[in-house]
Structure 1
Amino acid sequence: MTKLKNLSLKKVVFYLVLTVVIFYLLFPFYWAVNTSFKSEAQLSMTPATFLPVDPETGEVSFYLRNYEAVFEDDQFMRGLLNSTIVAGFTTLLALLVGSFAAFALGKLRFKGKRPSLYVILAMTMFPQVTVLSGLYAVINYLNLDAILSMILSYMLFTLPFTTWVMTAFFKDLPIEIMQSAQVDGATPFQTFRMILLPLTAPALVTTGLLSFIAAWNEYLFALTFTSIDVKARTVPVAIQYFAGNFARQEPFGERMAAAVIVTIPIVILVLIFQRKIVQGLTAGAVKG
């Protein structure tokens, strides 16, 4: 009887903690969606309402002009395209270079292997602001395009992460796979491309998606490198300078609508690749 009570108590505590965590994670997104469907008058209501309510009648009323304003804003739509290009190419480059580096660090033997891993790990510890001024000076000296500058600068935080995570996956692959391929006459590159790389698909999806999210949401580098070239602004910067079409004051509702639209592609990608993401995050957790 005591065991049953303890088990029931543990379940209650577990579901209580789970409810708090879910509420903590989802409530900001819910509030953003709620705000995006409110007019300026609805946003001015006190106390704030958990649903868009008409100030006069008190009935639920969704204000859709915020989304109309966002889709009619050329700067925001251009920012979506720029963010897609920058985040997409950053992810591809990080996976391409990172997988090669991870293969070398995880499966090949060479001098300086361990110090190289420590250097890669140390690169992830530097705040962006510490390298911003020097990086901006180098890019100005080379006279690089703003979009190319962002792609190359985003590699500073996506490439070390990708390399470090992929190295752990390559280390866990049995060495017998490489030995069998060598016996069959495969070169190291053929072994990497045709045998080992497909086995690390969960890691590629996980690191690729996280790199894409990091590049998609990055603000500091984007704000700095697009300060002159306005047409190259990405979505976070475009939202910052979003003036609004219908709101006469600060366009909070329109900015929230823009934030919701920007979040949707990430949610869709996570839902599509959720199985691979779980495999990538849990691989190596249990050794048999």
Structure 2
Amino acid sequence: MSPDTKALLNRVGMIVGVTLILVWCLLPVAWIISLSFKSQAAVTSGSPGFFPSAGGGAGWQNYIDAWNNEQFRRAIFNSIGISLIATLLSVILATLAAYAIARLEFRGKKLVLSAALAVAMFPVVSLVGPLFDMWRAIGLYDTWPGLIIPYMSFTLPLAIWTLSAFFREIPWEMEQAAQVDGATSWQAFRKVIVPLAAPGVFTAAILTFFFAWNDFVFGISLTSTEAARPIPASLSFFVGSDPFNRPASLLAAGAVISTIPIIIIVLLFQRKIVAGLTSGAVKG
């Protein structure tokens, strides 16, 4: 077999493989978008196919109804506020902790990293029961802090691991040069180290925000009203006139709307996300 034939077969195989992966990953997304444009009557009658049948389309009405739902709008506000606060606090604390772990020598440093990793890998479901009782006792149940704290307990260790790897890649001489020029340790950290570690900081922020935005277990277990209930948990309470016949098309429209902020973030910052995930992977 000639080299040109091998190259052509490899190219065709790669195209076919990528196409299959994209279809496998995007088919559920395309299906839920299709479902969001169907009327509830068409869904109840078992309307087959990707596109709504004749007379079974609802147009944008499902999206209008979902957005006009006060419960849904409140859930969006809760998710945005809780996710942003959890992300900001996690990134600030993780940046300081990761810098100390990467730059300072102290006993038990490996133990700290191992404990952080163990916390990040701990099953979320096993903590719901104790947190429920604890939050009810101290008054954090059904509040924003009652969700922000559990989110940080899982995102902070992951952010520390991510950022400590970035700080290790930054030459120590750059910080020493800044101190020689008259900068204090805090000024060298803030004006030299943090800007150089910006891809890692951004990656940690994105991971933290995604975890908080997509969480369902804590959101459904540690809230009881719309005061702090986030979007994933709120969607499970969407019921129509018949509680035994859930409005699937309305739920699909709500799910699509709740995904839009994530899509916007990825499209706007995709280059920084890729740079953050790949920075330091290859040493020159």
Equivalent residue in structure 2 for 1:224, among 188, 210, 221: 221
| Partner Cα distance (2:222, 2:64) in 1 | 29
SS state of the match for residue 49, structure 1? coil
Deviation at 1:182, TM superposition (A): 2.1
Instruction: Answer yes or no: is the 8 Å Cα contact 1:67–1:257 preserved in 2.
Output: yes
Out of 54, 62, 65, the position equivalent to 1:69 is 65
Structure 1 residue ranges (4+ consecutive) displaced by more than 4 angstroms after TM superposition = 44-47, 245-248
Q: Counterpart of 1:192? A: 189
Residue 175 in structure 1 maps to residue 168 in structure 2: no
Which stretch of the first structure deviates more once superposed, 146-155 or 62-71? 62-71
Contact map agreement 1:69 1:245 (CA 8 A) in 2:
no
Match of 1:134 in 2: 130
CA contact (8 A) 1:205 1:273 kept: no
Q: Gapped runs of 5+ residues in structure 2?
A: none
Q: What is the DSSP-based 3-state SS (H/G/I as helix, E as strand, rest coil) of the residue aligned with 2:227?
A: helix
How high is the sequence identity, in percent, across the aligned residues? Answer: 38
Q: Which residue of 1 aligns with 2:54?
A: 54
Q: 1:80 corresponds to which residue?
A: 76
Offset, 1:27:
1.1
Structure 1 137/189 Cα, relative in aligned 2: closer, same or farther at 3 Å?
farther
| Contact 2:159–2:204 (Cα < 8 Å) also in 1 | yes
Contact 2:238 2:246 in 1 (8 A): no
Q: CA contact under 8 A between 1:65 and 1:246: conserved in structure 2? A: no
Hey, what's the Cα distance between the residues in 1 that align with 2:61 and 2:245? 15
Q: CA RMSD in A?
A: 1.9
Q: CA deviation at 1:154?
A: 0.6
The amino acid across from 1:282 in the alignment is T
Give the drift of 1:170. 0.4
- Aligned residue among 139, 160, 163 for 1:163: 160
Structure 1 length-normalised TM: 0.93
- Which runs of 5 or more residues in structure 1 are unaligned? none
Correspondence 1:205-216 to 2 at 5 A? 205-216=202-213
Once residues 47 and 262 of structure 2 are traced to their aligned partners in structure 1, the CA distance between those partners, rounded to angstroms, is: 32
TM-score (norm 2): 0.94
Whole-Å Cα distance in 2 between the matches of residues 251 and 150 of structure 1?
A: 28
Partner amino acid, structure 2, of 1:21: I
Tell me whether 259-268 or 65-74 shows the greater mean CA deviation: 65-74
Give the one of 265, 275, 280 matched to 1:279: 275
Match of 1:18 in 2: 18
Give the distance between the partners of 2:279 and 2:235, measured in 1 at CA. Answer: 37
Do 2:74 and 2:226's aligned partners in 1 also have CA atoms closer than 8 Å? no
Report how many residues are paired.
Answer: 283
Give the aligned partner of residue 8 of structure 1: 8
1:219-260 CA deviation, whole Å, 9 max, x = no partner?
111111112x33321111110001247999320000000000
In the alignment, the residues of structure 2 paired with residue 72 and residue 169 of structure 1 have an alpha-carbon distance, to the nearest angstrom, of 44
